[in-house]
Amino acid sequence: MTDEPTISDHVRELVDAYLDGTIDTTKLEELDSVLRVNDAVRAFFARYALTHTDLAMEIASRTATERALARLPVQVAPRSSDRIRSSRSVRLLFAASLLLGITIGGGVVGLFAAQSHPKPQLAPAPRTIALDFREKHPGTLADQAGASTGFTHRLPGTGSALAQYDTNLRLIPEAGRLEVTATTSDLNTRFQLEQAEFPGIRLSDLGFTGVEDFEVTVKVVDVPAMAFVGQFGIYAGVSGDWVVRGGLVSQRESESYRQFVVNTRDGRDKDAFFIGLGAPGDDLEIRLSRKGGRFSMAVENRTSGATSSLTNRHPEFLDGRADIVVGVFACDPRGKDHKAVRFADFRATVWVPQDR
Amino acid sequence: MRDPETLDRRTRFSDLLLQHRGRLFAYIHALVRNLADTDDVFQQTALALWRRFDTYDTSRPFLNWSMGVARYEAATWLRTRARDRLRFSDELTLLMLDAFAELPVDEVSDRQATLPGCVDKLTEQDRSLLTECYQRESDVATVAARLGRSARSVHNSLKRIRRMLFDCIERKIAHSIRE
């Protein structure tokens, strides 16, 4: 243990990049020169690298142990004395249940009677649209090269000025990504909605009638740096005026995001809720669901390992509406250098009664 | 207590290597950065040390002598087997030798003993990522492709986890010293 000197974040970043092999020649030369002239940084490096080595050994031993334990027989045959003890135990339990039955006889009979005629109750069955962006879906919204993305609709009231071959969309099948370049637009105050990017699908295409539970998830890979209030994520709504949406919104501080969920009521953002932090380079999974009539949103930051649940005022304006569209969005109302948001694995599920 | 004069050469060598293996292994790992490769270089270093053990000046610290040999073996290995791998300058590897040699042996063993408890505090997701990266010895880009993530994000996750573990170890060791 040392009285560790202050090591700058930049030097720590160089050390981490060196240890996991992502360092480039220029940064290695920089790290090399820092380490050559600074004893304290070398001492820090030695301890940090020691943790790296110990970690490699620790993980190897843990994995080997798990593998060894997994090979052990699942059940050991009971010894004869155990079998005798078990059968005695069963007999004792049986006798005890008889005594109990005599004591509360009517209740026991009633219980058995109820169990012998269970009412058939089928759980709603999930119907899912899954877009992994690895294949084209003819007849759906086309990207800049004419490749069909899989999204069938746009949020009504948005995107009316976008080209048929949408220059803001780029399907990358080999990577399983759909890049959506943010545009100068925002649902709040209906700002340039004609060029707002809100591609999606209709829940009614999955049998949704307005009352069923549903869930929408999407992954976002390598979050880009956006200007203040630049935002992206997923939404559910009936028009640009009536929507619940959430994801990440860029902050005033450079390269800083907050997770958010907000209702747009009659063209104005209301009931906003913010939590957690994010940063460019993060990978996320965003989930918006309505279960038992209650909306909830969760953002799992796959980079930081943190998961946040976001709840805000219930968007009652969506209750009973059968015409809900769900999808992804990217807006950058104040930015000049619009960035592409990389979406992957979009899924929308509706739980529909099995007798329908 | 054993009298060194009565121990045979092999036993003396084994004792010294066992006593210093932690820092020697960590030094090699810091130079070649791959566990399987570190094992190879460690084996070659041990053989080279054994061959030269008759010339070892017992007035000098064994650890510094063995690291000097390891430095040469690692440089040779990197030059012939991993030409594309970026590596430190010769001047720095020499300076680094002292930095590793100066780690107190008790601290090295304390750190090793403390680490498992810190790993237990990680989330299942973080432990799973460590297994992907450390056990399979995959580079960050390969792991990222396997998990459907970006290389930058995996690098950032690894950085965060390593720092958490490093800080956890520092705290626990500081706490035990205060006690």
Q: Give the tens place of pLDDT for each residue, A233-260.
A: 999 999 999 999 999 999 887 778 888 8
Ordered by where they begin, the domains of chain B are 4-101 (1.10.1740.10), 105-178 (1.10.10.10)
Last residue in a domain, options A43, A70, A97: A70
What domain range includes position A271?
Answer: 125-352
Predicted local distance difference test score (pLDDT) of residue A203 = 95
Indicate the pLDDT class of residue A58, thresholds 50, 70 and 90.
confident
What is the rounded average pLDDT of the residues A102-118? 38
**Residue B88 touches chain A, beta carbons under 8 Å:** yes
- The answer to whether residue A16 neighbours chain B at the CB level (below 8 Å) is yes
Chain A residues within 8 A of B169 when measuring between CB atoms: 51
Q: Which of A12, A28, A176 sits opposite B86 (nearest CB)?
A: A28
Structural domain includes residue A191: yes
Q: A residues 136-155 near B, CB within 8 Å?
A: none
Sequence letter at residue B37: D
Q: Give yes or no: residues A208 and A138 share one domain.
A: yes
Most confident of A294-298, B71-75, B175-179: B71-75
Indicate if the alpha-carbon torsion angle B134, B136, B141, B144 is positive or negative: negative
Q: What pLDDT was estimated at residue A296?
A: 87
How many CB atoms are located within 10 Å of the residue B26 CB? 25
**Residue A116 pLDDT > 60, yes or no?**
no
State yes or no: pLDDT of A308 exceeds 70: yes
Closest partner CB to A50 (pick from B91, B111, B154): B111
Cα–chain center distance at A82: 49
**Where are the alpha helices (H) located in chain A, listed in sequence order?**
9-19, 25-37, 39-70, 80-103, 105-116
Lowest mean pLDDT among B74-78, B79-83, B154-158, B159-163: B79-83
Q: Is the pLDDT of residue A156 over 90?
A: yes
What pLDDT is stored for residue A82 in this prediction? 43
Instruction: Look at A222 and B153 and tell me if their CB atoms are within 8 Å.
Output: yes
A29 with A45: CB under 8 angstroms?
no
Sort out which chain B residues have CB atoms less than 8 A from A177's CB and list them.
Answer: none
Dump strand ranges (E) for chain A: 125-131, 142-143, 153-154, 165-166, 169-172, 177-181, 199-202, 214-221, 231-239, 242-250, 257-265, 268-278, 284-291, 294-301, 307-310, 325-331, 340-352
pLDDT (0 to 100) of residue A328: 98
Question: Which of B 26-55 lie inside 8 A of A, CB atoms?
Answer: 26, 29-30, 33, 35, 38
Q: Provide the pairing of β-strand A169-172 with A177-181.
A: antiparallel
Would A107 be classed as within a structural domain? no
Mean pLDDT of A83-105: 38
Q: Which residue has the higher pLDDT, B155 or A255?
A: B155
Domain with A179 in it: what CATH number? Answer: 2.60.120.200
What is the C-alpha to C-alpha distance for residues A203 and A323, in angstroms, rounded to an integer? 7
Q: Which of A55, A70, A85 is the last residue of a domain?
A: A70
- Non-local CB neighbours of A264 within 8 Å, separated by 6+ positions: A187, A188, A237, A240, A241, A242, A243, A244, A245, A270
**Does the pLDDT at position B74 exceed 70?**
yes
A133 shares its domain with A62: no
* A259 located within any domain: yes
Confidence of residue B120 (pLDDT cuts 50, 70, 90): very high
Q: Say if residue A44 is in the same domain as residue A177.
A: no
Q: Which pLDDT value is given to residue B118?
A: 94
Does A40 map to a domain?
Answer: yes
**Which band of pLDDT confidence, cut at 50, 70 and 90, is reported for residue A274?**
confident
ipTM of the complex: 0.87
pLDDT at B4: 52
By the CB < 8 Å criterion, does B120 face chain A? Answer: no
Percent of chain A with pLDDT over 90: 54
User: Poorest-confidence range of A117-121, A157-161, A310-314?
Assistant: A117-121
Supply A200's token pair. Answer: 């999606």
One domain, residues A38 and A135: no
> pLDDT band at A104, cuts 50/70/90?
very low
User: For residue A130, which residues of chain B lie inside 8 Å, CB to CB?
Assistant: none
Q: Is residue A109 part of a domain?
A: no
Measured in angstroms, the CA of A77 and the nearest CA of chain B are apart by 33
Within this chain, do residues A45 and A171 fall inside the same structural domain, yes or no?
A: no
Strand-strand pairing, A142-143 and A165-166: parallel
Does a structural domain hold residue A99? no
Contacts of B12 (CB under 8 A, 6+ apart): B4
Residues in B closer than 8 angstroms to A55, CB to CB, are: 115, 119, 130, 134, 162, 165
pLDDT band at A115 (very low <50, low <70, confident <90, very high): very low
Domain end (from A25, A47, A70): A70
Confidence of residue A120 (pLDDT cuts 50, 70, 90): low
**Is A127 in a helix, a strand, or coil?**
strand
Does the pLDDT value for residue A4 go beyond 60? no
Q: Are residues A305 and A161 in the same domain?
A: yes
Chain B residues whose beta carbon lies within 8 Å of the beta carbon of residue A12: 159, 163
Q: How many domains does chain A have?
A: 2
pLDDT at A324: 95
Span B8-36, mean pLDDT?
87
Instruction: Say which range, A242-246, A312-316, B112-116, B175-179, has the weakest mean pLDDT.
Output: B175-179
What percentage of chain A has pLDDT greater than the value 70? Answer: 83
Average pLDDT for A218-226: 91
A52 touches chain B (CB under 8 A): yes
pLDDT of residue A73: 58
How big is the A-B interface in CB pairs under 8 Å? 164
Give yes or no: residues A181 and A326 share one domain: yes
Kindly report the average pLDDT of chain A as a whole number. 83
- Same domain for A176 and A243? yes
Contact A20 B158 (CB under 8 A): yes
* A302 within some domain: yes
Contact in structure between A139 and A111 (CB atoms under 8 Å): no
Chain A interface includes B152 (CB < 8 A) = yes
Residue A88 maps to a domain? no
Touching check for B140 and chain A: CB below 8 Å?
yes
pLDDT of amino acid B3: 52
